[in-house]
Structure 1
Amino acid sequence: STLGSMVSIYSEAGDFGNVVVTGGISFSLSYEQKMQTLFIHVKECRQLAYGDEGKKRSNPYVKTYLLPDKSRQGKRKTTIKRNTVNPLYNELLKYEINKSLLVARTLQFSVWHHDRFGRNTFLGEVEVPLDVWNFESHLEEFLPLHGKIGADAAGLHQYKGELVVSMKYIPSSKHPGAGNSRKGKMGEGGELQVWIKEAKNLTAAKSGGTSDSFVKGYLLPHKNKASKRKTPVVKKTLNPHYNHTFVYNGVNPEDLQHICLELTVWDREPLSSNDFLGGVRLGVGNGMSNGQAVDWMDSTGEELNLWQKMRQYPGSWAEGTLQLRS
């Protein structure tokens, strides 16, 4: 299978149902410097889908996260409005957070139908990157809702094993040779180091119950030779230790908002095409790159956390164990 079909393996607990997402959400944002608090005024939703198609009912509520934080403490919710597809909330949700940290966050709204058995049905979501948001405007914004990006609607995700990765971003002032700006060298900008440590519990692609695997890396949006990196092949094991580092030069701090590291694991087949064993994507996960909507900026969960950690502590290794997507 190709990476085009790589779906996200992380999904919110809840019945994603087969609801065709419609409608949108109206809100405004403000930031109170003295209290170091972000205020989210959730005004209303309009023309939502029915959570219960049979009874033509929706009992919608709105949930927010400041991604990449999807912890329980990071969750905020409005009240549930009964039997309406045009709920009026006029509710204030609050996050105490330093303004300098907001630029690295994305505000996620998701709308859910709550039924009398306590089950939740997904009605749509929208994400708002906060790095370019004008908090002074206080203007009301209406944004259309969309479906879960790459989510497996059936919720049946195949377990493909894990990849253990350490990453470090070294700004240009810190890495050796940054001062010698020889022309024609990709020395400007910082350096991204990706230490591919090991994989665990890979799928057996060979008849003897093993795989001869390697990891391939691209720094998206570039999927060319200059961006491609590969580990050596580790033979006859489903728990390979690669212990190999990919280095990307000429990466500026602002690039980290727009690029995405795609790592894929393959079984080496000398006489035919290699078999895809799984992959991960590391980035800000907001579906955008340089102002364009892109489907590959879809990191979630631990992928997001690792990228965030690396950006937060330049010059230090950040490690994560990432579940491979199928």
Structure 2
Amino acid sequence: MFWGGEIASALSHPHSLHLEVWGPGASVKRAMNGPSQETQGTRASAGPVSSISPISSSHRLLFSAQGLKPMDHNGLADPYVKLHLLPGASKANKLRTKTLRNTLNPTWNETLTYYGITDEDMIRKTLRASEALAVPLTTAPARISVCDEDKFRHNEFIGETRVPLKKLKPNHTKTFSICLEKPLPVDKTEDKSLEEWGRILISLKYSSQKQGLLVGVVQRAHLAAMDANGYSDPYVKTYLRPDVDKKSKHKTAVKKKTLNPEFNEEFCYEIKHGDLAKKSLEVTVWDYDIGKSNDFIGGVVLGIHAKGERLKHWFDCLKNKDKRIEPWHTLTSELPGAVLSD
């Protein structure tokens, strides 16, 4: 059912994810990772959108729209776009554009970036986009929504659409033309253990020279906000389990007031290569608080008892001595067997 406008999307994976919102009959021209692409129709008058350079392990989205549904008394709207990734209902994976005033043909000319998209995400996740008039952000997970902002009332929903990430191919840009729909239901029975609290980039290398495991805490992205100011003061702790002597703890510096910190710190665990097969690496992320207990944000466990990409990362490290393996991992709120106290 047609609802409030149409979306024409140009998406690519794994280095960049582009999405453009256009109105009926609009034309999209791009210069993204190769030749430009064009949909049929009349060229939109909002102007061209510049090309975007790919960023490793990230997905980028860029928006413009035409022919939106009028929402205000003046026959116009104050639209913005919201993005969520489903499943994974947390504020960490919600993005939104700026609000543009008094227009039915907005061109945002801004890029929203999802860092740390993994192969598992490409299989199981859906990008949900909604357009609304500017209002308080909803808590519905992973969608592309278009909204209308209202200073004196609740923001009004215009329409939304969803794009499964598995429709994208590596290093290939794909264009979609999709009508906006009414709000679609969200699965509220989702396993809470899968709730996401951000992403973390971890590097592993077994050094023959140092006779030890080098663990690099590189950066984190889209963390959950734990403080009243909408930010966190994050730091990272690592343990090599089992830790009988309780001497394996390492901790990074605290990064103040950020949800996308860069650490670039590396720790060394002196251990024989053959003993690593019996070990697990526990990585937890915390919010530093003064005068009270620090808040647990999320974590990940790599090792022989892990699954999916976490298990693959560990085995790739064991099989490739002196080679740095550096993928992104999703932080979760529950770590079986982990000690979640600071």
| Structure 1 length-normalised TM | 0.43
Structure with higher RCO (Cα < 8 A, 6+ apart):
1
